[in-house]
């Protein structure tokens, strides 16, 4: 229905304002009213994917006898603020020794490593499980039938620390446990721990069937749900009779309002490969930040059978935004490199200062090659820096939809060390609010993830509760996000 403008007059053209209380990412056009250059062209002011520098060497390699057959993969890394270190849980795949006396019962088991800086790792001898004649190992879980693909949360996520975990489940859902693991043991279970080493296995069964890809649990605070993205193998087997035949390698959504419950509803498809994609999708680990799902969509090619990762986004978990051309966030390395066959991300991002760290598995061979080895690498990105709105050497503009300003100052994540960004604040009809014009604000020519925007004689805090638009005038610069300085940091 029509709403009243700030002047109190009925404005039948007024738009529904968007409430903001957290970082606002420009990964899609959800918050963008328009983007255009000096010739009024939008295509020259695009969303741009920023790819991290490819690491020459992995940070974690298979250097124990129980790791040497196929290597290590599926990393779940998290910062533990209580012990001030990074913990890593990863999967080891064995073929020849499975089920033999003295060896883990299935093809997969979980191992553990830890690090003070997230780069140099140690694998402590824990003495929990043996491997053949080896009594001291870093194996933490074998499972009743297997143990694979750990997705670990911790209740320590305090602010002001040197690192923090993005996409963690809220502490209240861990039910007093310091650590919570979601993992596969033919079905999918929750396990709990107070020290990250000793685990109570199979505490609760979440999904009763086996799904052999990296499944994560995301808490959607706006919908009040827990969400996973997986394959629908309940009605598509891929191999059985025509009644159950189908492509299992697409992405489905499964949710529950209760974490500690049996998720027995039917998965619903949200991403199916089209003609511009690989032949199939393999899986999609995901996390949520700034009200946005970030999905690490794994493309599975057939000839050769390589896997690469595209970054996709969603506001609701159903409808997904993909950048034009479907560029890859992580591609396989050059021939002969340690990750030249397949790549797949871990389950979450660790924020360290102004960087986002993402661990990933790299494989030396393709999916159908049995002699491949896998290691774990580290990619470093700018904080909130996966995607930006980019302006080249033409003066360009970015305009937000109407937003209700929550109060506090305005901080912008932008890179303009080769150009500039200027700022103004307008009302719904794009009339400059007094004191907030381009000429009232200093030109930004730096590179900061939290640049505090200031005007000569006006304060953003004075606009608290008002409906406004933010406008950016920029050239040879990238704008990633903005945040009200008094807003929620996650």
- Break the chain into its structural domains and give their ranges: 3-50+388-484, 65-384
pLDDT tens digits along 253-271: 999 999 999 999 999 999 9
Could you confirm whether domain 65-384 is CATH 1.10.1200.10?
no
- Secondary structure E strands in 316-466: 320-321, 328-330, 342-345, 349-352, 355-363, 374-382, 387-391, 396-400, 403-404, 410-415, 420-426, 447-453
Q: Token pair for residue 310?
A: 């595209």
Task: Give pLDDT, residue 159.
Answer: 54
Residue found under tokens 């963008």: 32
DSSP H stretches of helix in 326-399: none
Q: Which residues does residue 428 pair with via DSSP β-bridges, in sequence order?
A: none
Residue 242: CB atoms within 10 Å: 6
Residue found under tokens 């638009």: 469
Q: On the CB side of 244, how many CA atoms lie within 13 Å of its CA?
A: 9
The set of residues, in sequence order, having a beta carbon less than 8 Å from that of 462 and lying 6+ positions away, is none
DSSP characters for 280-344? EE----EEEETTEEEEEEEEE-SSS--EEEEEEEESSSSSEE--TT--EEE----TTSTTSSEEE
pLDDT > 80? residue 291? yes
- Secondary structure E strands in 158-257: 163-166, 179-185, 187-193, 200-207, 218-220, 225-230, 251-256
Which range, of 4-8, 203-207, 374-378, averages the lowest pLDDT? 4-8
Per-residue confidence band for 370, with pLDDT thresholds at 50, 70 and 90: confident
pTM above 0.75, yes or no: yes
Q: Token pair for residue 306?
A: 């390589």
Percentage of residues in the chain with pLDDT exceeding 70? 94
Could you confirm whether domain 3-50+388-484 is CATH 2.60.120?
yes
DSSP characters for 109-170? EEEEEEESSSSS-B-----S--BTTB-S--EEE--SS--EEEEEEES---TTSSEEEESPPP
Question: Average pLDDT in the 309-320 region?
Answer: 97
């Amino acid at each position: 229905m029509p709403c009243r403008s700030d002047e109190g007059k009925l404005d039948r053209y007024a738009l529904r304002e968007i409430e903001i209380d957290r970082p606002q990412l420009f990964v899609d056009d959800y918050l963008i009213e328009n983007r255009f250059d000096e010739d009024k062209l939008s295509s020259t002011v695009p969303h741009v994917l920023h790819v991290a520098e490819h690491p020459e060497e992995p940070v974690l390699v298979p250097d124990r006898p129980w790791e040497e057959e196929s290597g290590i993969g599926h990393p779940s890394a998290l910062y533990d603020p209580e012990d001030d270190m990074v913990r890593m849980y990863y999967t080891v795949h064995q073929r020849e020794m499975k089920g033999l006396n003295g060896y883990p019962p299935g093809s997969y088991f979980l191992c553990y490593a830890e690090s003070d800086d997230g780069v140099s790792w140690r694998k402590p001898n824990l003495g929990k499980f043996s491997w053949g004649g080896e009594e001291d190992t870093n194996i933490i879980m074998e499972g009743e039938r297997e143990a694979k693909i750990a997705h670990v949360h911790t209740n320590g996520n305090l602010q002001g620390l040197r690192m923090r975990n993005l996409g963690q489940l809220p502490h209240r859902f861990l039910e007093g446990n310091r650590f919570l693991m979601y993992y596969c043991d033919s079905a999918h279970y929750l396990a709990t721990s107070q020290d990250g080493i000793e685990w109570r296995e199979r505490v609760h069964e979440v999904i009763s069937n086996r799904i052999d890809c990296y499944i994560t649990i995301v808490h959607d605070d706006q919908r009040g749900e827990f969400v996973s993205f997986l394959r629908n193998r309940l009605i598509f087997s891929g191999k059985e009779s025509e009644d159950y035949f189908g492509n299992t390698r697409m992405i489905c959504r499964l949710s529950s309002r209760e974490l500690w419950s049996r998720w027995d509803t039917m998965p619903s498809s949200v991403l199916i490969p089209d003609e511009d994609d690989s032949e199939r999708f393999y899986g999609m680990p995901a996390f949520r930040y700034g009200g946005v799902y970030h999905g690490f969509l794994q493309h599975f090619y057939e000839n050769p059978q390589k896997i690469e990762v595209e970054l996709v986004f969603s506001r609701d978990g159903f409808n997904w935004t993909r950048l034009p051309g479907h560029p890859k966030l992580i591609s396989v390395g050059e021939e002969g490199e340690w990750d030249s066959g397949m790549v797949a991300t871990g389950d979450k991002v660790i924020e360290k200062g102004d960087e986002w760290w993402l661990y990933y598995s790299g494989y030396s061979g393709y999916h159908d090659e049995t002699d491949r080895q896998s290691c774990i690498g580290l990619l470093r990105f700018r904080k909130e820096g996966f995607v930006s709105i980019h302006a080249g050497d033409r003066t360009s503009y970015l305009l937000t939809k109407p937003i209700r300003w929550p109060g506090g100052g305005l901080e912008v994540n932008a890179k303009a060390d080769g150009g500039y960004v200027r700022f103004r604040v307008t009302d719904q009809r794009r009339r400059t609010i007094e004191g907030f014009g381009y000429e009232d604000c200093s030109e930004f020519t730096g590179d900061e993830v939290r640049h505090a925007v200031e005007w000569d004689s006006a304060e953003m805090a004075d606009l608290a509760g008002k409906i406004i638009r933010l406008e950016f005038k920029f050239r040879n610069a990238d704008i990633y996000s903005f945040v009200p300085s008094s807003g929620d940091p996650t």
